[in-house]
Structure formats: C-alpha cells, structure tokens
C-alpha cells in the first residue's frame, strides 16, 4: 500500500498546487506561439516544432516501453532485470541480493521467481527473510 499511497499523495499535490502554474504556463505559451507564428514562421515551423516534436516522440516511446515492459511474462521481465542491472552499475553483491529477496517492495520479483530465490533456478537457496515464491 505504500507505493499506491505515495503515488496518490504526489498526484493530489500536483493537481492541487500546480494547477495555477500549469494554467499560467499555458497562457504564456499560447501567447508566444501566436507571436512566433506571426513574426517568425520559419523558425516556429522549423526549429521549434522539430524540437517539441522530438521531445513528444521521446515521451511517447518511453510510455510505450513501460507498457510493453509491464505486459511481459515473468521470464522476460527477469531477463530484462538481469540485463539492465550491470548497465545501471548495480554491484554484484546487490544483484545477488535482488535475486535472493525480490528487492524492496518486490521490484525485482520476476528475477527472484526465475532464480529460485537466488539459488540459480529450481527453488530453494533462500534464507528465512525471503518472501514466499507465490505472491499473487
């Protein structure tokens, strides 16, 4: 419940406290867009639109990657988690801990399940602090 609660509180704060900032930014941006379209159309439709379009494409690709990641099977998620850990410079002892315990809030649960609780597969090899294998 901690993660959903934290997400709720964050979104509640953002919705309540940042509404004025978003509204002000929208108003200023609308005004600047009008001025740029009117007085510098080459810059607006060239450089500016390309920059904003590239940023929007990046956000869309990131969203698509997250959706694809969350819909994968347990073994695919585990493979992804194991492949990403060295890239993110996670020390080997921490990688062993993630495989053996599932990590904080079970963020590496797929890795834990496919490694048999850190034994390299096939079950066993886990100490008393490990979460149960079937957490669904």
Give the dihedral sign, CA 53/56/60/62. Answer: positive
Region 37-64: mean pLDDT is 88
pLDDT digits (tens, 9 = 90+) for 62-114: 877 776 766 667 777 777 777 777 877 888 888 787 778 777 666 677 777 77
Q: Which of 96, 99, 115 is nearest to 107 (CA)?
A: 99
């Amino acid at each position: 419940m901690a993660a959903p609660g934290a997400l709720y509180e964050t979104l509640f704060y953002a919705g309540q406290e940042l509404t004025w900032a978003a509204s002000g930014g929208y108003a200023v941006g609308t005004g600047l867009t009008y001025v740029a379209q009117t007085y510098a159309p080459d810059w607006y439709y060239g450089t500016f639109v390309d920059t904003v379009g590239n940023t929007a494409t990046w956000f869309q690709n990131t969203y698509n990657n997250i959706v694809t990641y969350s819909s994968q099977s347990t073994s695919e998620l585990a493979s992804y988690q194991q492949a990403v850990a060295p890239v993110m410079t996670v020390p080997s002892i921490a990688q062993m801990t993630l495989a053996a315990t599932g990590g904080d809030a079970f963020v590496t649960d797929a890795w834990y399940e496919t490694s048999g609780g850190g034994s390299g597969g096939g079950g066993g090899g886990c100490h008393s602090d490990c979460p149960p294998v079937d957490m669904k």
